[in-house]
Structure 1
Amino acid sequence: MQNVALIGIDLGKHSFHIHCQDKQGNPLLRKKFSRTQLIHFLATCTPSTVAFESCAGAHFMARTIGKLGHQVKLISPQFVRPFVKSNKNDFIDAEAICEAASRPSMRFVTPRTEDQQAMAALHRVRDSLIRERVKTTNQIHAFLLEFGVSLPRGITVIRRLAAVLEENDFPAYLARLLNRLHSHYVYLSGEIGEVDKELKNHLAEDETAQRLLTIPGVGPVTASLLATRQGDGKNYASSRDFAASTVRVPRQYSTGGKTTLMGISKRGDKNLRRLLVQCARVFMQRLEHNPGRLAEWVKRQLASHHSNVVACALANKLARIVWAVTAHQAVFSK
């Protein structure tokens, strides 16, 4: 296989389908491999471009194949779909990946490092534990309300649960169920605390996250997630590109030289967008304690716009600052 220039791989859990092309785009080989067979095949091929979709297991495969001397290109699945011809199967998907990868204007995904993948898993586990803890408190609130006991929102129900059980004559099985939910809440809180310790230890060793912490309003969780998702910032050409891919921006549908801006787009990382908006709101709440040009800009915007509009605008500006701090390896200066 000396003439192979481009290899498209349709990744699977146990089987992998490849489509090989030469420099002119002529098909050379279609074959199905197991994981071990695929690595052996690529090890015997001359260095070429290997492309596949960015999905589960893709970043590990990118690192493994990159060590074999190949140039790896990861493509977002939404950009591959238009190149699928009529009927769909694994070999047609692999061919579509080759077609997408050969486009000069195609945008590619930067492969993540092992550390970035591990931190992404840590954040997903933390979010899952927090959602489960909120669900537990909501269940306790709902069960008490069904028996006529209404408590303030939040974790007040956890603090006062023992007193509520003593003051009210609930069925014995319901009391046991509420105590079990209380124990589950305590367990989840302990697990979240352990995850936060891991996060704090990692932040102390991550130089990029330490620089991001100098940005007003950005806390440890947001700094860690930004450092994990953005990397060195080199996969974005400018701060505008990073902000547009992260924060809410209008969806555009322009034609005939007429610019038409539609509703706010919700594409991109929803969790990261939510955290940046929260950072903006924290900054706005402590505006009098945050002197500098950024604070003055926020004050001018609040004088003529609603606070929700200013929060989204500030989140967009924070995203641009994040890219500048990361790409230029600098710290935020007021």
Structure 2
Amino acid sequence: MLTLFKHLPPCLVGMEACGTAPHWARAISALTHDVRLISPAYVKPYVKRSKTDAADAAVICEAVSRPQMRFVPVKSPDDQALALSYKTRSLMVAQRTAAVNTMRAHLSEFGIISRQGLIGSAELVSLTRNGEERLPDLARENLAEVADLIEAVEAKIAQLDAKLADIVKKDERCRRLIKVPGIGPVAAGTLIALSGDMKRFRSGRDYAARLGLTPRQNSSGERVRIGRMSKAGNRDLRVLLVLAQMSVIRRARSNPPRISTWVLDLMKRRPSLVVAVAMAAKTAGIIWAMLTRGEEL
């Protein structure tokens, strides 16, 4: 394919964004072509009937020529490597959660219950290792294997956190983002790695909409209908910001003076998760301003 593009005059090349798209976009761009990546969700509306390679190519050509089309930025190898670090950590956390849930479910069958969260998982591992009398020997041996898996994954997560903390310390943008309430080193690095070029968003609300934190609309004429949050865009970043603001809400309940009156009033009228989503959308705007304008919090 690269041989074909070598013999073509510089032209516009449209591609659907996928796992291998950044590599091919960089390779084709090196041959003086203008490569633009399009989200498959934005290509789909141009599909007419049957799906074939020729039909897909025609649809992409139609989509890439639209003046209002939004394109996916092409990541550099360094940006991809940084994003891979945070995705690897997410994989480790998911594996730990699965192992803890497995142990919790098996122990509950023997009438052994503990608290949820990391504290509860530590209690479960301790019960398994300390010779719980309610557990048969065979069950104890099998659960010890699960406990070993949990501890091994936790050690890997700790190593990744230390490595990511070093990366964050060297990045001036991450050091500024850490000052945002609820944003820690891992969250700051993830936002930098997965958000791409923030200047392509016209405002903080555009960035919040890109993360799916703004409500859907089904409006017509003078009738305005506002629905639930759209959940569009990058799920990891959306979940990250919402969970970060949930932690802020938990701290606010124990120390109300340290949070804005806007949040306190909202907490009186709305459920915690709704408040967290509203705070996450506002935080997305703050992050956009800090990264595009170089502002400090």
TM-score by length of 2: 0.90
- State the 1:130 CA deviation: 1.1
**C-alpha distance in structure 2 between counterparts of 1:87 and 1:169, whole Å:** 59
**C-alpha distance in structure 1 between counterparts of 2:115 and 2:273, whole Å:** 26
Asked if 1:167 corresponds to 2:133, the answer is: yes
Question: Which structure is larger by alpha-carbon Rg, 1 or 2?
Answer: 1
CA separation of 1:283 and 1:247: change in aligned 2, threshold 3 A: farther
**C-alpha distance in structure 1 between counterparts of 2:268 and 2:151, whole Å:** 44
Match of 1:145 among 108, 123, 143: 108
Asked if 1:244 corresponds to 2:213, the answer is: no
Asked if 1:130 corresponds to 2:93, the answer is: yes
CA separation of 1:175 and 1:310: change in aligned 2, threshold 3 A: closer
Asked if 1:66 corresponds to 2:33, the answer is: no
Q: Secondary structure at the match of 1:69?
A: coil
CA separation of 1:204 and 1:247: change in aligned 2, threshold 3 A: same
Query: Where does structure 1 lack aligned partners over 5 or more consecutive residues?
Result: 1-37
Asked if 1:317 corresponds to 2:282, the answer is: yes
Q: Secondary structure at the match of 1:234?
A: helix
Match of 2:59 among 96, 100, 103: 96
Match of 2:41 among 70, 78, 98: 78
CA separation of 1:297 and 1:256: change in aligned 2, threshold 3 A: closer
What's the RMSD between the two structures over aligned residues? 2.0
**Of 295-304 and 270-279, the range deviating more from structure 2:** 295-304
Match of 2:263 in 1: 298
Q: Secondary structure at the match of 1:60?
A: helix
Is the contact between residue 212 and residue 229 of structure 2 (CA under 8 Å) also seen in structure 1? no
Match of 2:246 among 264, 267, 281: 281
CA separation of 1:307 and 1:176: change in aligned 2, threshold 3 A: closer
CA separation of 1:184 and 1:93: change in aligned 2, threshold 3 A: same
**C-alpha distance in structure 2 between counterparts of 1:330 and 1:264, whole Å:** 28
Give, as a single letter, the amino acid of the residue that structure 1 aligns with 2:134: N
Give a deviation string over 1:225-259, Cα, whole Å, max 9, x none: 11112223012111110011214322111123422
- State the 1:290 CA deviation: 7.2
Give, as a single letter, the amino acid of the residue that structure 1 aligns with 2:147: H
**C-alpha distance in structure 1 between counterparts of 2:124 and 2:241, whole Å:** 30
Match of 2:174 in 1: 209
Is the contact between residue 283 and residue 290 of structure 1 (CA under 8 Å) also seen in structure 2? no
**Of 123-132 and 144-153, the range deviating more from structure 2:** 144-153
Give, as a single letter, the amino acid of the residue that structure 2 aligns with 1:226: L
Match of 1:260 among 222, 225, 228: 225
Give a deviation string over 1:89-112, Cα, whole Å, max 9, x none: 112211111110011111111111
**C-alpha distance in structure 1 between counterparts of 2:140 and 2:264, whole Å:** 52
Match of 1:109 in 2: 72
Higher helix share: 2
**C-alpha distance in structure 2 between counterparts of 1:302 and 1:181, whole Å:** 40
Is the contact between residue 100 and residue 106 of structure 1 (CA under 8 Å) also seen in structure 2? yes
Higher strand share: 1
**C-alpha distance in structure 1 between counterparts of 2:294 and 2:77, whole Å:** 21
**C-alpha distance in structure 2 between counterparts of 1:103 and 1:169, whole Å:** 65
What is the aligned-residue identity percentage?
A: 34
- State the 1:50 CA deviation: 0.9
Is the contact between residue 277 and residue 315 of structure 1 (CA under 8 Å) also seen in structure 2? yes
Asked if 1:158 corresponds to 2:121, the answer is: no
Give a deviation string over 1:193-230, Cα, whole Å, max 9, x none: 12212211221222222221121221112111111122
- State the 1:173 CA deviation: 2.7
Q: Secondary structure at the match of 2:198?
A: coil
**C-alpha distance in structure 2 between counterparts of 1:191 and 1:290, whole Å:** 38
Aligned length: 291
Is the contact between residue 128 and residue 140 of structure 2 (CA under 8 Å) also seen in structure 1? no
- State the 1:168 CA deviation: 3.4
**C-alpha distance in structure 1 between counterparts of 2:270 and 2:226, whole Å:** 19
**C-alpha distance in structure 1 between counterparts of 2:46 and 2:268, whole Å:** 49
- State the 1:169 CA deviation: 5.2
TM-score by length of 1: 0.81
